[in-house]
């Protein structure tokens, strides 16, 4: 089953995905007219700040299975599209109770009036629907289509993960090839040889610390002289 996969390390924070998402969910589907509509079309993907000032992260619904939002919705407004595995919200059934937002582990549910809602003034839950209409006709989601740096890609999850591993492995190998490792004295085993020599030296030193003691009782090396302990006031 195809899904949108996020490569957060590639995101440059251009916000093109947010714009494309809002336009795709507008009545006109035209970026020149969409923001003149009432109510204003809302984005379903959110570019958020990363761990550093120069990093960004395109956050979107993961369409969990099982989905906590679906499980807690009291009106049945949230359902799963079995064909594409997408979690969808029926805006006309939503009462804006925010239970879905409370349990969402990725903080992707917002609340706005929608044209497809009960009325243009009623606030309902809004989140990514996976561009289900586009996917049903064989197109890619709007956010993926406009992303120029492959921070958002669309395809089979296992294939995307495998491709990501190959890409990362190639980057590591390229970095390793650009900085050759310098071995001590030109011998790649020099450190192992030094370690072995140190082990042998330590073993010889340990055996040399116990010389044969001349005149030791019973001829035993290092035997301590016998001592007599007398108790004061006791029998001698």
For the chain, domains (ranges, CATH) are 2-177 (3.30.70.20)
Condensed to tens digits (0 to 9), the pLDDT of residues 61-84 reads 999 999 999 999 999 999 999 999
Looking at residues 181-194, what average pLDDT do you find? Answer: 65
The answer, yes or no, to whether residue 184 has pLDDT greater than 60, is no
Token duo for residue 17 = 């995905």
Q: 3-class SS at 78?
A: strand
Q: Alpha-carbon distance 109 to 129, whole Å?
A: 11
161 pLDDT band (50/70/90 cuts)?
confident
Residue 79: count other Cβ atoms within 10 Å of its Cβ.
15
Q: Alpha-carbon distance 46 to 229, whole Å?
A: 86
Higher pLDDT, 212 or 43: 43
**What is the pLDDT, as a whole number, of residue 226?**
47
The answer, yes or no, to whether residue 229 has pLDDT greater than 50, is no
8 pLDDT band (50/70/90 cuts)?
confident
CA 68, 69, 72, 78 torsion: positive or negative?
A: negative
Number of H helices, E strands in the chain: 7, 8
Token duo for residue 105 = 């582990």
Q: Could you give the maximum distance between any two Cα atoms of the chain, in Å?
A: 117
């Amino acid at each position: 089953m195809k899904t949108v996969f996020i490569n957060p390390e590639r995101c440059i924070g251009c916000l093109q995905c947010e714009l494309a998402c809002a336009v795709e969910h507008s009545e006109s589907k035209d970026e020149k007219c969409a923001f003149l509509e009432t109510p204003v079309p809302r984005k379903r993907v959110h570019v958020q700040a990363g761990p550093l000032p120069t990093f960004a992260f395109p956050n979107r619904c993961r369409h969990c299975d099982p989905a906590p939002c679906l499980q807690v919705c009291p009106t049945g407004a949230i359902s799963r599209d079995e064909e594409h595995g997408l979690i969808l919200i029926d805006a006309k059934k939503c009462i804006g109770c925010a239970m879905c937002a409370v349990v969402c582990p990725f903080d992707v549910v917002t609340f706005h009036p929608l044209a497809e809602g009960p009325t243009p003034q009623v606030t309902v839950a809004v989140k990514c629907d996976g561009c289900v209409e586009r996917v049903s006709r064989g197109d890619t989601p709007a956010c993926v289509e406009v992303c120029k740096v492959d921070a958002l890609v669309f395809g089979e999850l296992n294939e995307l993960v495998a491709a990501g591993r190959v890409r990362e492995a190639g980057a590591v190998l390229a970095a390793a090839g650009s900085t050759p490792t310098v071995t001590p004295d030109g011998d790649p085993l020099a450190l192992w040889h030094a370690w072995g020599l140190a082990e042998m030296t330590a073993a010889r030193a340990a055996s040399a610390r116990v010389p044969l003691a001349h005149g030791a009782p019973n001829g035993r090396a290092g035997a301590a002289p016998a001592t007599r302990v007398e108790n004061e006031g006791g029998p001698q």
